[in-house]
Amino acid sequence: MEEEIEFILKVITHPVGYDLGLFGTMCVRPTDQGAWCVSWEDCVYETKPGFTTQFLRVTEKESCFPTPREAAEFFVKKRTEIELGLDFEISANAGNMKI
């Protein structure tokens, strides 16, 4: 976890102003106001009255932090919480892989 945080810190504190994103679903970036923001999509399945199928409701969320370390730590915790990344994809499909 610390190795991932350090990598993110190197990217988002570079003088060029890089941001770091995953699959267009989650991003951590510096702002010109001296804050670092993490944005992500919050996906919730819900059933509406009168329907038998569930609908996916996607909401854009964002949290901003005064330091890049706080933003990087939040990014890693949120990424882990929502299980976003190839590391989660690979482990989820491990049982279905044929060798």
Q: Which of 14, 21, 20, 17 is nearest to 32 (CA)?
A: 17
82 in any annotated domain: yes
59 in any annotated domain: yes
Residue 89 CA: distances (Å) to CA of 1, 55, 63, 85: 17, 23, 25, 6
Q: State how far the Cα of 34 lies from the Cα of 66, in Å rounded to an integer.
A: 7
| Structural domain harbouring 57 | 2-86
pLDDT value for 99: 47
Mean pLDDT over all residues of the chain?
A: 89
Number of structural domains (the chain) is 1
pLDDT digits (tens, 9 = 90+) for 60-87: 999 999 999 999 999 999 999 988 888 8
pTM confidence score? 0.80
Phi, psi of 5 (to 5 degrees): -60, -45
